[in-house]
Amino acid sequence: MNIILLGAPGSGKGTQSQNLSTLYNLNHLSTGDLLRAEITANTPLGQQAKTIMDSGNLVSDDIVIAMIANHLNQQGTLFDGFPRTLNQAQALDTLLATHNNSQIDYVIELDVDQEEIIQRMLARGRADDNEHTIRNRLNVYNQQTKPLIDYYQQQNKHHKIDGSGAIEDITARIQTIIEPTS
Ligand code: ADP
């Protein structure tokens, strides 16, 4: 089983990914975490990515697609923060078909009010969490990532859930999509 968590920055994808990857024994792949690990290790890729991430823009498709290809294994995967562009979504379909003979099963969109998102991110205080960058990341999300909703709706894979409230309630909402009648 392969799942994509979709949602604006700060919508809680990382938190829900941890719960879901434990519940369903999935390989949790977060491109944000992988990129931050490159920055911490001070690799050439990390140095290149840092400036882009600090501004709130997207790292190039080639880089993140290659990172994902390197981390796919035979386990089912939970994709967190990837894909973020149509180009990435199409590349992912091809990767899964050729490497794993599999496909995306569920795309779960976490729906959170924009004002709540800004408050959450300011409270989180990560390096790229200042107000200017946050606004840019929300714009980037609206322009480049939102079209993915259509892409997956056309494949009948898109499910939108309310991403506000208690963490475990949100997890339970996602479970009702993955385990419909239990
Ligand atoms: P958030 O969901 O809060 O935005 P992430 O950790 O997912 O946090 O992403 C942080 C930054 O890492 C993004 O703003 C972007 O610069 C970069 N990044 C992460 N995933 C991708 C991706 N799939 N494509 C391009 N850039 C990415």
* pLDDT at site 128: 84
Report the residue among 17, 40, 58 best suited for mutation to probe ligand 1: largest number of ligand atoms under 8 A from its CB.
58
Q: Is the CB of 12 under 6 A from ligand 1?
A: no
pLDDT 10s digits, 36-53:
999 999 999 999 999 999
Closest atom of ligand 1 relative to the 53 alpha carbon? 16
% of the chain beyond a pLDDT of 70: 99
* pLDDT at site 179: 85
Answer whether 108's CB lies under 8 Å from 5's CB: yes
* pLDDT at site 125: 80
* pLDDT at site 176: 95
State the pLDDT confidence band at 181, using cuts at 50, 70 and 90.
low
Provide DSSP, the chain: --EEEE--TTSSHHHHHHHHHHHHT-EEEEHHHHHHHHHHTT-HHHHHHHHHHHHTPPPPHHHHHHHHHHH--SS-EEEES---SHHHHHHHHHHIIIIIS----EEEEEE--HHHHHHHHHHH--TT-SHHHHHHHHHHIIIIITHHHHHHHTTT-EEEEE--S-HHHHHHHHHHHHSTT-
- The Cβ of residue 101 has, within 10 Å, a number of other Cβ atoms equal to 8
Measured CA to CA, the distance from residue 83 to residue 111 in angstroms comes to 17
Which residues have a catalytic role annotated?
13, 84, 124, 126, 137
Q: Can you list the domains of the chain with their CATH numbers?
A: 3-178 (3.40.50.300)
